[in-house]
Amino acid sequence: MSDFEDALQVAVALAGGASVIVSENIEDYRAAPIRVVTPQQILAELGLV
Q: Label residue 1 by pLDDT band (50, 70, 90).
A: confident
Q: Label residue 2 by pLDDT band (50, 70, 90).
A: confident
Burial class from Cβ neighbours inside 10 Å (0-12, 13-18, 19+) for residue 10 reads buried
Mean pLDDT across the stretch 8-20?
A: 98
Percentage of residues in the chain having pLDDT higher than 70: 100
**Kind and range of the H or E element at 41?**
helix 39-45
Category of 6 on φ-ψ map: left (φ > 0), alpha (ψ -120 to 50) or beta: alpha
Question: What's the mean pLDDT when you consider all of the chain?
Answer: 96
The closest of 41, 2, 44, 46 to 22, measured between CA atoms, is 41
Domain coverage including residue 26: 4-45
Q: What is the pLDDT of residues 18-40, one digit of tens each?
A: 999 999 999 999 999 999 999 99
Number of domains in the chain: 1
